[in-house]
Structure 1
Amino acid sequence: MAHLKFNPRTLILLLMILAITAFRLLVTFNSDELQFANFSSIGAVALFGGAYFKDHLKAFAFPILSLFLSDFILSITIFSKYSNGFLYEGWYWTYIAFALMVLVGRMLLKNINVVNLLASTLSIVLIHWLVTDLGVWINNPAYTQDLPGYWSCLIKAIPFEIRFLEGTVIYGTLLFGAFEILKAKYPVLKLQMQKS
């Protein structure tokens, strides 16, 4: 039997992702239905997973799994009227955007500092805005199916993207700050030759 090595770094990263994803559920369950729409931890989770998991599969799988689990819980509970029986209409646009956000974390956060974190945060907000609203615009009779129609859709989404930016900054500060503090206190969490 192969030796299984316990990797505390992977476990802590995964627990932090699950904990911050739980905040998404807590905020949503404890507010008016759409009061905090898009004020979410998912952007921070995407960046965090992309930045800290060096194994490509884990970097994408763990954040996407956390998004799916929280989406599923929301779609069968308080957002059931928006659910199409599985998740919600156009869910795949959100997941495409989310995968691209993880990729931004992998590419821009190889060296984690305030400037890189700010640049990656602004990049994922732009990705979220353009990709998820593409799903809102396509085949939607409320918008003309041309560039001005798409632009109109984007303009209407600005308040939601501001909330997404606020959520990403706040939750990102918690995630990245907490892990950097933990790394300083517990050197076993620093990336060495192991894959996390």
Structure 2
Amino acid sequence: MSNLKFNPRTTILLLIILIVTAFRLLVTFNSDELQFANFSSIGAVALFGGAYFKDNLKAYAFPLLSLFLSDFVLYTTIYRKYADLLLVQESWTYLAIALMVLAGRLLLKKVNIANLLASTLVVVLIHWIVSDIGSWYRNPLFTQDLAGFWQCLVKAIPFEVRFLEGTLIYGAILFGAFEILKAKYPVLKLQKQAV
């Protein structure tokens, strides 16, 4: 007999992440190319993974994998002409996502509205600073010094406002849905064994 047991919590968490990540694709495909740039679920997914997966591998792997899969779809379809330009930038984005998961793990040990709002602001700050290193580094539009990086950060403010909006909205969906499901189905509450 096998020691493998079905864990509905992990399955539901992953399913919620995949559904919300699919919204990233739907919003992007159903709008002008860059109209909703950065209005995305990735910040909320990173926080969600960090908050609810107690196993480090799952906490980091599922949000990063969801970003990779959605990026793959976007960069082989509507963002194809930007794919070469974004390759360097994306490595910084993936680092930012990993740091966002870490923020979720540290700041959302207890999930409540105040902690969720505070952690949302932290992940937006992480995204703004870390992701923009990729936009600034070796970019001829910016001087390769602190002043150039600051100029890059200032130009990114409208995108970060959309990232904040997306993280708040998708975060409300992710965290709200799972908290409702946990209340309705106690089997989804964290057991003593790691998820």
Q: Shorter chain as normaliser: what TM range?
A: over 0.9
Give CA deviations for 1:138-170 in whole Å, capped at 9, x if unaligned.
111111111111111000000000000000000
State how 1:144-183 maps to structure 2 within 5 Å.
144-183=143-182
Identity %: 74
Q: Distance in 2 between matches of 1:31 and 1:38?
A: 13
Counterparts of 1:61-76 in structure 2, within 5 Å, are: 61-76=61-76
Which one-letter code corresponds to 1:137 in the other structure? W
* Counterparts of 1:146 and 1:88, CA distance in 2: 22
| Structure 1 equivalent of residue 133 of structure 2 | 134
Q: 2:54 aligned with 1:54, yes or no?
A: yes
1:58-104, Cα deviation, whole Å (9 max, x unpaired): 0000110000000000000000001139x734210000000000000
CA distance in 1, matches of 2:78, 2:173: 26
Q: Structure 2, unaligned stretches of length 5 or more?
A: none
Residue equivalent to 2:95: 96
Q: 2:16 matched to 1:16? A: yes
Please say if residues 49 and 63 of structure 1, whose CA atoms lie closer than 8 Å, have aligned partners that are also in contact. Answer: yes
| Deviation digits for residues 37-56 of structure 1 (CA, Å, limit 9, x no counterpart) | 00000000000000000000
Alignment length (residue pairs):
195
Following the alignment from structure 2 to structure 1, what is the Cα–Cα distance between the partners of residues 178 and 28?
Answer: 25
Q: Within 1, Cα distance between the matches of 2:3 and 2:178? A: 27
TM-score, normalising length: structure 1? 0.97
Deviates more, 1:137-146 or 1:12-21: 137-146
Computed over aligned residues only, the root mean square deviation of the Cα atoms, in angstroms, reads 1.2
Which residue does 1:25 correspond to in 2?
25
Q: Which amino acid counterpart does residue 80 of structure 2 have in structure 1?
A: S
1:167 and 1:100 mapped to 2: Cα distance?
18
Indicate whether 1:41 and 2:41 are aligned. Answer: yes
Unaligned runs of 5+ in 1: none
Which SS does the other structure have where 1:84 is aligned?
helix
Determine the structure 1 residue equivalent to 2:120: 121
SS of 1:90 mapped into structure 2: helix
